[in-house]
A = this chain, B = another copy of it.
Amino acid sequence: MKYDSRKDEIIQTSAILFKKKGFSAVTMRDIAKEMGIKAASLYNHINSKQEILSEIIISLAEQFTEQMKSIKMSDESSIDKLKQIVALHVNITSKNQFGMASLNNDWMHLEAQLPYYLKLRKNYENDFRNIIEKGIKDNELITQNPDVMVFSMLSTLRSLYIWLPKKEDLDIEKFTTELSLVLINGINK
């Protein structure tokens, strides 16, 4: 693996450890040891442990926000938009399996950036629900509580970081299709 910079190496190494034990249980000494340097040396590249977490989470949250924007702007059917959202999660997660753990589990340890993160997350969930609601109105989706549908799909998509790494030989494109099928059409014959 190669890194853009020493700072980038710190962030990526930290993400691996954060996934294993959570942000709070990982020490600066742990991160430094993993890189073969001393904890004090980390501070030549980053300002605080907090900053490492922020960089991991905010960068991912912004990727989701940006790509959701182009999905919702497109003029496809609601079902096709949902399939694109599935692909979005599979793609980002397959490239950031460690960071996705922090995004899901350690966001509450953000400090200055917490309100910004919460805003991005709320907007994302609203966009998701709007797509579902339009699908119901257009008679593409069943007439059921849209909150339940958003919850169900999003829970699965947010858990991909746990599951994808266990299937390393996975064909990403094939998996995306299978998962879309299960999420949208169910498992009943």
Contacts and interface: CB of A to CB of B under 8 A. Distances in A.
A139 interface: yes
A35 interface: no
A70 interface: no
A126 to B, nearest CB: 14
Contacts of A23: 22
Nearest to A132: B187
A175 B148 CA distance: 8
Given A159-B159, A163-B155, A175-B148, A189 B24 contact: no
A30 to B, nearest CB: 12
Nearest to A174: B145
A172 interface: no
Interface in A1-38: 20-25
Nearest to A158: B159
Contact of A151 (B106, B153, B163): B163
A-B complex: 5 closest residue pairs judged by Cβ atoms: A186-B186, A155-B159, A24-B24, A24-B25, A185-B186
